[in-house]
Amino acid sequence: MNKDFKLKTALCAIGLATFGGAGFADSGDTLASVKERGELLCGVHPARHGFAAPNSKGHWGGFEVDYCHAIAAAVFGDADKVRFVALSSQQRFPAIQSGEVDVLVRNVTATLGRDTALGLNFAPPIFYTGTGFLVHADSGVKTVEDLDGATICVAPGSTTERNVAQIFATRGMGYTPVVIENNKQLVDAYVTGRCDALTKDKAALPGVRAYDTENPAEHVLLPGIFSKEPLAAAVRQGDDQWYDLVKWVTYATFNAEELGVTSENADDMKSSDNVDIQSLLGVTGDYGSKLGVSEDWAYNVITQVGNYAEIYARHFGPGSPVELDRDLNTLWVDGGLLYGFPIK
Amino acid sequence: MTHIDGSDQRGAKPRQTLSTLLYSKSFRTAVTQVVMAAVVIFIGLFLYQNVVENLRAQNIATGFGFLEQTSQFDIGEKMITYSARDSYGRAFVVGLLNTLSVSAAGIFLATLIGFTVGISRISSNWLLSKVATGYVEIVRNIPVILQVIFWSVLLRNLPNARNAVEMYGVGFLTNRGLTFAVPATHPIHSTMGIALVAGIVLAILGSIWARRHRESTGTYVNMLWPSIGLIIGLPVLVWLFGGAPTAISYPVQKGFNFQGGVTISPEFTALLIGIALYASGFIAEIVRAGLQATPKGQIEAARSMGFRPWFVTRYVVLPQALRVIVPPLTSQYVSLIKNSSIAVVVGYPDLVNIGNTVMNQTGQAVEAIAVMMLVYLTISLITSTFMNFYNRLVAIKER
């Protein structure tokens, strides 16, 4: 291969990228391109313990990471066919818009603005939380009202940044924001005392306390949740088939918990008389082919990843470093907000 | 080949034909320019159209209408009033002013340190020159982003507000920044500012008059003390006439932070020190090169004529050194301004930091980046224009 040829190929590639609009992925056919590629590209948080973080061996683990695995299990029948793309809060939207990732499961709060102006579609929320505050125990701050005049560390480009402004404005209090993109630098600024409080989604703060502070006992979470943060998987607008699949994988995990189907008993449950269970596990109906995947899609999700309760317990359950009450994240039958649409 | 312009060999009246036009150099140059410009404009339009169409196909919002929407986020450091109820456009202005203030302070500090170290480099004092050399090699060979993070981490590990280091009763040093006492705000201050500007203008006019006077009569008038008197005296006079207000606003620890006084944030300081020291290393080398560009013979000649060392520096070395120093100094200033965008790493709310937030809140990445690029381009071009103007002032003039 001569030099000239290589140069021409390179020039062609650059030309295509700029002029052909290859920078923006074609809408439609995400499922086909995922299948052809042989792996799912999943956008995740670089380090939010409990939700998504690489462990000491470099393997990704966490609640949101498991939802990436669940989608891969539905598409390929193999939960491991995922490549994780770590995205900062500022990189996440361009990454999904440009087709760099197929799905964004990265602590994204579903809002009207993002749904419309950013050209996204949100699957059903998989985690309900709100803005929380972590403060130094020795500061004597007991409630958010005690924070008048405080310096608050906050990540840029997050809904949290707006929430803080609103929370303080409605209480007629003042504050000074310190806005740092790099998560390590941000947490460090709080820990060293540059800020009086660190604000993030309340569900993310126990992870910060457990992993990023020297002595977790010196930091306390303020009581109360101060905004609505429904965290949901996001896909590009204009590809209904792919949107449907992500949506129904989410519902399948809710329904499996409701029907009592777990990764342990799924095989036995296949012989159940319950039509809902039969539909879920692909024993009856052609729901898989309607979604464009195999009939045992939900069975694969449940056996390889688990139902909602199993996924939750794995990362936030008793004994995990980031223990969290299920709170709003319980089934509707238990008074929570998780309500899986029927697979019929 | 003396008749390339097509004039007739036999001296008849030259005729304009198509072929003579084609061979005319100026015509061909003009055509090439027009074609080039057309190609550039076409490519630009094509790319713009491509972006707009792609964004529309993706259902992503476009246009600059978002600049007038309410921002709904707060900014820590601001030079003009700003709240979450103001617009994205105003947020950009807050960021721009922060960029300008850290850049201006950076240029001042870098120039001061750069000139000092540059002169020390060629000092005959062995220790001084070696220390200066070591400084230059350290600051210009470590990436500027690492230097900024280094200062930021260092400042963050200062004592917290409760264990503040008190400095002679006028200020406190904590990891929340340097807080110090300032005169309490008084209406006379703005008038004093005007008096200061007037003093500076009068001093400049005075020295121009002194030079003309010297050139026409040959008598030397020392304008140093009258100038200092004008610059300091006028504001002091205004202050005295205004009733000499002496109220001082002392910082007092109250709640989470200090009340009163003025606070310089650690983010600003870390960024300022980082980018200024980095640039000072390069400026020192530029200054050294400029000073060494003056032939030694000229300096010796000037000394042998009995001029004092200060006079030799002012009228023999500097005019020639500045000619060499100013053009590369311009590019250092411009690169310092651009380096200020490292603010994003330490959390100083500069143009890029705020632009990033705006980009994320609105999702209009293309427009937000375009605004930032345009602003940096404008600042840099203005700086270059000003420095080129200064360069023409100090350049050797044919008389």
pLDDT in tens, A235-273: 999 899 999 999 999 999 999 999 999 999 999 999 999
Is the confidence at residue A334, as pLDDT, over 50? yes
| Domain layout of chain B by residue ranges | 18-57, 88-183+264-394, 185-246
SS3 assignment, position B182: strand
List per-block mean pLDDT (blocks of 10 residues) for chain B, which spans 399 residues: 48 65 84 92 91 80 86 88 91 95 95 93 90 95 94 87 72 82 78 88 88 84 83 85 77 74 88 96 94 88 88 84 90 94 91 89 86 93 90 76
Is the confidence at residue A7, as pLDDT, over 80? no
The closest CB to that of B59, out of A18, A93, A237, belongs to A237
ipTM above 0.90, yes or no: no
- Alpha-carbon Rg for chain B, nearest whole angstrom, is 29
Residue A6 has a pLDDT of 42
The closest CB to that of B357, out of A156, A194, A236, belongs to A156
Pairing verdict, β A120-122 and A234-236:
antiparallel
- The answer to whether domain B88-183+264-394 has CATH 1.10.3720.10 is yes
B344 in reach of chain A (CB within 8 A): yes
% of chain A at pLDDT higher than 90:
63
Contact A207, A46 (CB under 8 A): no
Over range A96-123, report the average pLDDT.
92
Please list every residue in chain A whose beta carbon sits closer than 8 Å to the beta carbon of residue B63.
Answer: none
Q: What are phi and psi of B59, to 5 degrees?
A: 60, 35
**Model confidence, pTM:** 0.79
What are the distances in angstroms from CA A97 to CA A129, A158, B320? 25, 17, 56
Residue A18 has a pLDDT of 43
Q: What is the pLDDT of residues A278-325, one digit of tens each?
A: 999 999 989 999 999 999 999 999 999 999 999 999 999 988 888 888
Over range A160-183, report the average pLDDT.
89
- CB–CB contact A188 B349 (8 Å): no
Residue A13 has a pLDDT of 40
Please list every residue in chain B whose beta carbon sits closer than 8 Å to the beta carbon of residue A196.
Answer: 256
Q: What is the pLDDT of residues A112-134, one digit of tens each?
A: 988 988 889 999 999 999 999 99
Q: Which of residues 214-273 of B touch A (CB under 8 A)?
A: 255-257, 266-267
- CB–CB contact A90 B160 (8 Å): no
SS3 assignment, position A252: helix
A178 in reach of chain B (CB within 8 A): yes
Residue B16 has a pLDDT of 65
The closest CB to that of A182, out of B157, B175, B345, belongs to B345
Is the confidence at residue A21, as pLDDT, over 70? no
Question: What is d(CA A88, CA B136) in angstroms, rounded to the nearest whole number?
Answer: 36
% of chain A at pLDDT higher than 70:
92
User: Token match 């003042």: residue?
Assistant: A174
Over range A56-78, report the average pLDDT.
94
Residue B329 has a pLDDT of 93
Q: Which residues does B30 contact at the CB level (< 8 Å), separation at least 6?
A: none
B365 in reach of chain A (CB within 8 A): yes
- CB–CB contact B346 A27 (8 Å): no
Within 10 angstroms of residue A200's Cβ, the number of other Cβ atoms is 26
Exposure pattern of B114-143 as b/e (b: 16+ CB <10 Å)? bbebbbbbeeeeeeebeebeebbeebbeee
| CA atoms within a 13 Å half-sphere pointing along the CA-CB vector of A87 | 25
User: Token match 């993030």: residue?
Assistant: A200
B364 in reach of chain A (CB within 8 A): yes
A vs B, Cβ pairs < 8 A, gives 132
- CB–CB contact B175 A166 (8 Å): no
What tokens appear for B146 in the block? Answer: 């690492």
Eight-state DSSP code of residue A332: G
Question: What is d(CA A181, CA A183) in angstroms, rounded to the nearest whole number?
Answer: 6
Residue B184 has a pLDDT of 77
B327 in reach of chain A (CB within 8 A): no
Residue A20 has a pLDDT of 41
Domains within chain A, CATH numbers bracketed: 30-128+231-334 (3.40.190.10), 131-227 (3.40.190.10)
